[in-house]
Amino acid sequence: MFKNYRMNRKIFILLMILIFIFFGFITYLTPLAGDDWGYAITGMTQNPFIATFNQYFNWSGRILSELWGYLIAPNKWAWNIINPLLFTGIFFFIFKIVEPKRNVIFSFLVVIFLMLSVKDFVRMQTYTWIMGTTYVIPLFLLLVYTYLLKVMIIDGKYQKWMMGVGIILNIMICLYMENAAAALVVANILALIYCFIFKKELRSKLIIFLICSIIGILIVRLSPGAIYRLNNEHPDWVQMNIFEQISTNWPNFLRFTFLDNKYLICILSLVLFTLVIIKKDRYPYARWHIVILATIYFLGFIQSISANINSILKIDFLNMLYDINYPFCNIIISILLIAYIIAVIWTLCFYLNDDQKYLGLFILMVGGSANIAMLLSPIFDSRSSLYTIYFLIMLCALFINEATYNIRAKQVLVLILIVLNLMQVRTYVYKYMLVNQINNERNEQIKYYQDHPEEDEGWFVRYPIMTIHSGDVEDWDTFHQQVFKQYYGLNPDMTLHFYYKDQY
């Protein structure tokens, strides 16, 4: 056992080093894009703190997100270091929270694969975009806070310094992103409920954490700039009642929670299916419950690969399992998602021991609340689902730790995952090398127009489709046309045109 612990620890450290190198590599190859240009200009020409103060009253209550943009966008070298550190830290804290005792290497490889297999829109908007990192930072801080709560409550190792760290984390998370703040409030409420039942001595401390998170949400939500922006950019949304808002966003909720995360749902379904079958002899209730659970997880697996099946067999009705615009898809996926959530809760409650059960319920509810909060937002985009995705990845790691696998089967699975991870890395490297190639060509074009300010039209090569976010500017996008010219020192009266190279 001790030998296995040392080996797993060495592999864990090695994987963290590789994750840092990998994210450092793709971060280095990614240029500034879209909003990055505007924040870089402001950060270079104005005091970042004064600019953040002005934004609070004119545009956004995300104080720390705005400050991040003004400080980091002008200094890409800093992002080249911070971004890989964040993703390495995310990997680290997922396993500090789960603390797997079995299937350790298998768990490591599954988590890495799921990190690399997120939908392209999530990858582009959060992994390699400076202003998208404002979604990654609160994810990292949420995981740190979850670990802090676990140490305090479940492990029973409270120390005085944890109070100060907890308060700081509660304020910081809220001042980055609204739905991360909502997830934080849910985390505090769940922790407080647990303490009222089992750990009465920690109640006062958890109440303080909850108050801090509520204050943080109010600071963001009551920002004059955020209210002004909401009323002026989304007047129709403001006029809707809560049920109309939820109804409007429900397809997005299904898509970003369930449909877009096919690899995550596929692996989670297989793990859960295996778990309920393996542990059937320990299940204290009627065996027909096992059949229901196994059926739901099997249907989750089928749904996750339905698009792949349909691409081969051309069976039209399979569209109802993955195409949100197809008739009845909304209803079918809603029923399946609700059944799936109930099955997961049931599995947590009756297949795991107390500590793991409560931890799993906490992970599920906190992760789910981040996307549920977005039902009340006029802007529900892929990047907003980052918290739900990663908490589900952590839940998957927790379930893997609960199952027992044949040694030979585990070896085969580990080998398959190594191959899958290498394939994903190869895909990333290919995409970002293309980005770097195009960026070098664009820089040469930019240099030409810098040297010829009399040119009134500029032609710039586009980045390949589905590689980076906001790297190109459309003709109608006057704001980004302006900041692009300003950032690169081009003729302010120049008309910009972006075109694809033939091979792309």
Handedness of CA 170, 175, 177, 179 (dihedral sign): positive
Picking from 499, 488, 427, 430, the residue whose alpha carbon sits closest to that of residue 463 is 499
Please provide the DSSP assignment of 155-209 as one string: S----THHHHHHHHHHHHHHTT-HHHHHHHHHHHHHHHHHHHHH-GGGHHHHHHH
Buried/exposed code over 170-194 (b: 16+ C-beta within 10 A; e: otherwise) = bbbbbbbbbbbbbbbbbbbbbbbeb
Question: Hey, what's the torsion of the CAs at 197, 199, 200, 204, to 10 degrees?
Answer: -110
Give this prediction's pTM.
0.95
* Residues 403/143, Cβ–Cβ less than 8 Å: no
Per-residue pLDDT of the chain (504 residues; tens, 9 = 90+): 445 767 788 999 999 999 999 999 999 999 999 999 999 999 999 999 999 999 999 999 999 999 999 999 999 999 999 999 999 999 999 999 999 988 899 999 999 999 999 999 999 999 999 999 999 999 999 999 999 999 999 998 999 999 999 999 999 999 999 999 999 999 999 999 999 998 888 889 999 999 999 999 999 999 999 999 999 999 999 999 999 999 999 999 999 999 999 999 999 999 999 999 887 766 666 677 888 999 999 999 999 999 999 989 888 888 889 998 888 899 999 999 999 999 999 999 988 888 899 999 999 999 999 999 999 999 999 999 999 999 999 999 999 998 888 888 889 999 999 999 999 999 999 999 999 999 999 999 999 999 999 999 999 999 999 999 999 999 999 999 999 999 999 999 999 999 998 754
- CA dist 297 and 343 (Å) reads 8
* Residues 140/89, Cβ–Cβ less than 8 Å: yes
The predicted structure's pLDDT at residue 334: 96
CA distances from 380 to 58, 69, 70, 252, 254 (A): 21, 21, 24, 7, 11
- CA dist 82 and 172 (Å) reads 17
Q: How many CA atoms lie within 13 A of 131 on its CB side?
A: 17
Residue 461 — φ and ψ, nearest 5°?
-70, 140
The predicted structure's pLDDT at residue 2: 44
The predicted structure's pLDDT at residue 29: 97
The predicted structure's pLDDT at residue 1: 41
Residue 222 identity (one-letter amino acid): L
List the beta strands (DSSP E) in 457-500.
457-461, 495-499
Please count the other Cβ atoms lying within 10 Å of the Cβ belonging to residue 408. 8
Angle between helices 386-402 and 354-373 (to 10 degrees): 160
